[in-house]
Amino acid sequence: EMSDRLNKPCYVFEKNDESRFLKEIRLEREVFKSVTEEQFILHYQPIVNQNQNRIVGFEALLRWDHPEFGMIPPNEFIPLLESTGLIVQVGYQTIKKACQQIKTWEQNGFNDIKMHVNLSVRQLFSEELVLQLENILAKEKINPKRLTIEITESMIMEDSDHFINMLDEIRKLGIEVSIDDFGTGYSALSYLTRLNVDSIKIDQSFVQQVGCGDKGDAVIKSIISLARHLDLNVIAEGVEEERHISFLLENECSEMQGFYFSKPLTEYEANQYLFTYHQKVSGNH
């Protein structure tokens, strides 16, 4: 083929770089359209209590269902949503969908399932956030305790006074707050004495070091113990192996999330997971 021959030098040298670059440009151009065409969807990853043998909740994880590139992971497009300011609108849609899902599960008899939603720094700086949350709770009529928002340590460091106030406002609505990727924010722990939160999520990098050396083990044990002393609930992320589970249970961390239990699921798959898990557990009695 003529065109094949013409394309060849390009293919040999830098096709991957070029196509990645072109993809980035395309995404940047299409991101506005994607919002109006509602190409953003949520996947849900279960969070289990391995001691009580039950599903505590799900974390809602955003995906861009692109007509040509397929499912695009958040790390590739969240920065784009942030820089264009679209994150405020997409974030609103995300919280709304997540709350509607809580309600649907409730209608199916699963009425103690929590939903975790990630917030980005731009959303926390948005004047509208508290009002948006208030509106959604009122409209969907769900118990605010069922909703947890996740923020990262590095976000808090940017302007701690602002965040302390913001998080207090959010918690006044009854919504819970969790610190995501805990331990990776290079932060001084002093913020923990000023900030009111409900839980922390131990970053997967700590969990994956379990059993790889005494130092790693000591760090994760200390995080769990710190959480307990601060009266915070603790969830371990990135649980992939049996040995992670036994270590966590020995150290009294029973809430876990990770590929060992399930990858993030579509809405349909999450429903299946709920029903199957429920049947399995009630079958034990």
Binding site for Mg ion (CB under 5 A): 118, 150, 180-181, 237
Q: Which of 150, 176 has the CB closer to ligand C2E?
A: 150
282 binds, among ligand C2E, Mg ion, none (CB under 5 to 8 A by kind): none
- Distance in angstroms (rounded) separating the CA atoms of residues 232 and 211: 25
The verdict on 199 binding ligand C2E (CB under 6 A) reads: no
Of residues 58, 139, 150, the one with CA closest to residue 105: 58
216 binds, among Mg ion, ligand C2E, none (CB under 5 to 8 A by kind): none
Residues in 58-97 at the binding interface with ligand C2E, rule: CB under 6 A: 61-62, 73-75, 78, 94
176 binds, among ligand C2E, Mg ion, none (CB under 5 to 8 A by kind): none
The verdict on 126 binding ligand C2E (CB under 6 A) reads: no
The verdict on 183 binding ligand C2E (CB under 6 A) reads: no
Selected binder of ligand C2E within 258, 265, 274, 277 (CB under 6 A): 258
The verdict on 46 binding ligand C2E (CB under 6 A) reads: no
Q: Which of 152, 254 has the CB closer to Mg ion?
A: 152
Q: Cβ distance 88 to 143 under 8 Å?
A: no
The contacts of residue 191 (CB under 8 Å, 6+ apart) are 153, 156, 157, 160
Of residues 29, 110, 97, 19, the one with CA closest to residue 63: 97
Question: Closest approach of Cβ 46 to ligand C2E, in Å?
Answer: 10
The verdict on 176 binding ligand C2E (CB under 6 A) reads: no
- Which parts of 128-212 are beta strand (E)? 147-152, 176-182, 199-202
The residue type found at 194 is R
- Distance in angstroms (rounded) separating the CA atoms of residues 46 and 53: 13
